[in-house]
Amino acid sequence: MVFILALGAALLLGVGSVIQQRVAFQAPDGLALRVGLLWHLARQRLWLLGLAATLMGGALSGLALGLGSVVLVQPVLVLRLLFALSIAALWSRRPLGRRDWAVALAVTLGMVAFLVAGRPGPGNPEGVPAWDWAVAAVAIGALTLALIRAARRLRPAQEAPMLAVGAGMLFGLQSALTQSASHRLFTQGLTALLTSWQPYAVVLIGLVGTLLAQSAYDLAPLSVSYPPLAAAEPLAGIAVGIGVLGGTLRLTPAALAVEATGLIVMTLAVYLLAASPHIVGHDDAATKGADRPPP
C-alpha cells in the first residue's frame, strides 16, 4: 500500500513539475527569489493546474509517509522524473528513444537496489525531541542560505542548480516532518495534529522550498534546474529520516555497498534523464539572461 501511494504521488508530482517549469520559464526576468514570482505564477491558469497536481501528489506522499517512512518513500518519489519524461514526450509528440528508456531503467534499478538491500524501517516519528528537529532545521537552513548567497553572484545557468539543491534539501526536511505529522494524525487525531508545531513547519518550509524551486525553474530549463532538486530531495530526506527519526537500514558491508551503488546510479541517471529533450521542452538550452554578466 505504501509503495502504491508513493508511486501515485510520484506520478502527480512529475506532471506538476513539468507544467510548472514550462510556465515559470516564461515569467518576466528579475523575479527570481522574489515573492512577486509566486504572485505572477498564481495568475497563470496552466501553472495553477500544475500546482493542483503537485498538491495532490503531496497529499498522497503525506499519506504514504504516515503509513511508512521517509527512508522508504523518498527513493520511490524519484520515479516522478520517469513520469515527467513520459508526459513531456506526449506533450511534445516526440517518441522516446532507446537512450531515454535505458536511463529510465537505470533510475528504477537504482531505486529497487537501494530498497531491497536497505529494507528501510520507519523509526519513531513521534518520539523525537524538538531539539533534534531544531538541529536538523538549522543545519539545512544554513546550507540553503549559503547556497542562495553564493548563487546570487553567478550567472543564471549556475544560479538555477544551486537554488534547486536548496529547494531539494528543504523538501527532504519537509518530507521527514510530514511523516511525523501524519503519524500523529493517524494515532492521536486531528486535534492533536493541529495543536502541534509540525504541520505549520511543514507549510512554512514548503513555501520557502516552492519559492526556491520556482526561481530555479524561472532561470533555466528543466535540464538545468530540475536534476539537482530531484537528487538532493531523497538524499536529504533519507539523511533526516535516519539521523532524526531513527529510521533503519541494513548496515552489513554487502548491504551498504548495494545501497550506496543504488543511490549513485539513481542520482546519476536522474541527471541524464532530465537532459532528455522531452524533459527540457525547449529546442535550445539557453537560460534567461545568459549573455548578461552576473550581479
Q: Which amino acid, residue 15? A: V
Tell me: pLDDT of 295 over 60. no
* Residue 44 domain-assigned (yes or no): yes
What local confidence, expressed as pLDDT, does residue 136 receive?
92
Most confident of 94-103, 115-124, 172-181: 172-181
Residue 169's domain comprises 2-280
What local confidence, expressed as pLDDT, does residue 104 receive?
76
pLDDT in tens, 223-248: 677 778 877 888 888 888 888 888 77
Q: Give the pLDDT mean for 134-139.
A: 93
* Residue 64 domain-assigned (yes or no): yes
CA distances from 218 to 18, 20, 205, 274, 295 (A): 13, 10, 20, 16, 17
261 CB burial (10 A radius; 0-12, 13-18, 19+): middle
In 3D space, the residue among 247, 223, 264 whose CA is nearest the CA of residue 175 turns out to be: 247
Percent of the chain with pLDDT over 90: 17
* Residue 214 domain-assigned (yes or no): yes
* Residue 291 domain-assigned (yes or no): no
Q: Specify which residues 239 forms β-bridges with.
A: none
Query: CA–CA separation, 19 vs 15, rounded Å?
Result: 6
Query: CA–CA separation, 22 vs 145, rounded Å?
Result: 26
Residue 268, φ and ψ in degrees, nearest 5: -65, -40
Query: CA–CA separation, 167 vs 210, rounded Å?
Result: 7
Rg, the chain, Cα only:
18
Q: What is the band of 139 on the pLDDT scale with cuts at 50, 70, 90?
A: very high
* Residue 113 domain-assigned (yes or no): yes
* Residue 285 domain-assigned (yes or no): no
Q: Which amino acid, residue 124? A: N
Number of domains in the chain: 1
What local confidence, expressed as pLDDT, does residue 221 receive?
72
Instruction: Give the number of C-alpha atoms closer than 13 A to the C-alpha of residue 223, restricted to the C-beta side.
Output: 15
| Cell numbers given for 120 | 528501510
In 3D space, the residue among 72, 69, 79, 84 whose CA is nearest the CA of residue 20 turns out to be: 84
pTM above 0.85, yes or no: no
Tell me: pLDDT of 290 over 60. no
Q: What is the DSSP string of 197-229?
A: SHHHHHHHHHHHHHHHHHHHHHHS-HHHHHHHH
* Residue 271 domain-assigned (yes or no): yes
Tell me: pLDDT of 205 over 90. yes
Most confident of 46-55, 113-122, 147-156: 46-55
Q: Which residues of 72-103 are buried (b: 16+ CB within 10 A; e: fewer)?
A: bbbbbbbbbbbbbbbbbbeeeeeeeeeebeeb
* Residue 252 domain-assigned (yes or no): yes
Please give the mean pLDDT across all residues of the chain. 81
